């Protein structure tokens, strides 16, 4: 979520959690590159991910890595405790946001652009499509996620997420307005699309599913009106059943 305020110390200790399942290494890049290359085959280039599984945008890239069996160097940046604002990190991403991927001289920010780069450059086009029409079917959901779905959910969830991360006084009242017009417009759109479908963009799992599911990691705890949206509920259960999804969950988002 983009708008949760930072507060020194909050939630920092939880950043590790089960994310070691996606291989967290703070060691030297060269050393890790050789190890990764020997595991992944000749010619596979190592990359570095700056991220945190505490956030939806951060977790989506970790889950896709896990699903594809990619083994990047992961540097955990807890943006909620100010780690995105250090001079060292601001040199990598001047906006201080995560996730950011660095591959040689290339730096990629924006989580959905990171997903696209990972599947093309490192994932053998799995969770992706080699056809222009297939790619268009996927990419429209990536844009929709950034432009419509995430902002709609942020509007409902910001106070709640801030409280759960310990960024605001625990006694601050939190309103979860699932009647919010902007949310309902987008949720009804998603619900209609998912009726009769297993996955969002194609007949198989793609990065569109990981992207759109990412913000859902907050909602089980936040009384999302699943009974009104049965197709969303069934689809999200399919995502939750994925090992890649489960293994990248950390407190407080572990249900
Ligand atoms: N649209 C961006 C949003 C990135 C973003 O706002 N990340 C949040 C965490 S989810 C962040 O780093 N916030 C810290 C800050 O804004 O200082 C993406 O999809 O990557």
Q: For atom 1 of ligand 1, which residue has the closest CA? A: 110
Q: 114 and 181: one domain?
A: no
**Vertex 198: Cα angle to 195 and 204 (nearest 5):** 140
Q: Give the tens place of pLDDT for each residue, 105-144.
A: 999 999 999 999 999 999 999 999 999 999 999 999 999 9
Q: How far is the CA of 110 from the centre of ligand 1 (A)?
A: 8
Q: 7 and 117: one domain?
A: yes
Domain boundary among the residues 67, 95, 121 is at 121
Over 70: is that where the pLDDT of 17 sits? no
- Between these two residues, 217 and 43, which has the higher pLDDT value? 217
* Share of residues in the chain with pLDDT > 90 (%): 78
What average pLDDT does the structure give for the chain?
86
Q: Is residue 16 part of a domain?
A: yes
Q: Name the domain count of the chain.
A: 2
Domain boundary among the residues 121, 156, 174 is at 121
pLDDT at 1: 52
CA distance linking residue 149 with residue 211, whole number of Å: 10
- State which ligand 1 atom lies nearest to the alpha carbon of 112: 19
Q: 143 and 117: one domain?
A: no
Q: 233 and 186: one domain?
A: yes
Q: How far is the CA of 71 from the centre of ligand 1 (A)?
A: 23
- Between these two residues, 145 and 12, which has the higher pLDDT value? 145
Tell me phi and psi for residue 59, to 5 degrees: -70, -35
What distance lies between CA 72 and its chain's CA centroid?
Answer: 15
pTM: 0.85
Instruction: Enumerate the β-bridge partners of residue 187.
Output: none
Q: Are 155 and 178 in contact (CB under 8 A)?
A: no
Q: How far is the CA of 58 from the centre of ligand 1 (A)?
A: 8
Q: 115 and 11: one domain?
A: yes
CATH number at residue 117: 3.40.30.10
Collapsing DSSP states into helix, strand and coil, what is residue 174? Answer: coil
Report the sign of the C-alpha dihedral through residues 144, 182, 216, 172, in that order: positive
Q: Give the tens place of pLDDT for each residue, 147-187.
A: 999 999 999 999 999 999 999 987 878 999 999 999 999 99
165: domain range?
Answer: 132-245
């Amino acid at each position: 979520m983009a708008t949760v305020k930072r507060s020194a110390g909050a939630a920092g200790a939880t950043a590790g959690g089960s994310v070691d399942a996606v291989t967290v290494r703070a060691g030297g890049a060269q050393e890790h590159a050789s190890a990764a290359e020997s595991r992944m085959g000749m010619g596979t280039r190592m990359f570095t991910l700056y991220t945190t599984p505490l956030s939806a945008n951060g977790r989506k890239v970790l889950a896709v890595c896990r699903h594809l069996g990619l083994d990047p160097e992961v540097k955990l940046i807890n943006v909620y405790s100010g780690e995105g604002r250090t001079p060292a990190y601001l040199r990598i991403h001047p906006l201080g946001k995560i996730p950011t991927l660095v591959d040689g001289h290339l730096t990629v920010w924006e989580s959905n652009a990171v997903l696209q780069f990972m599947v093309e450059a490192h994932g053998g086009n799995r969770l992706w499509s080699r056809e222009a029409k297939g790619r268009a079917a996927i990419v429209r959901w990536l844009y929709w996620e950034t432009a419509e779905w995430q902002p709609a959910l942020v509007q409902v969830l910001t106070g709640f997420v801030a409280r759960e991360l310990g960024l605001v006084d625990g006694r601050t009242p939190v309103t979860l307005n699932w009647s919010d017009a902007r949310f309902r417009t987008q949720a009804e759109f998603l619900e209609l699309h998912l009726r009769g479908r297993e996955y969002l963009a194609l007949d198989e799992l793609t990065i569109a599913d990981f992207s759109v599911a990412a913000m859902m990691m907050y909602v089980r705890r936040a009384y999302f009106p699943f009974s009104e949206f049965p197709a969303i509920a069934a689809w999200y259960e399919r995502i939750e059943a994925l090992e890649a999804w489960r293994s990248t969950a950390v407190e407080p988002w572990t249900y």
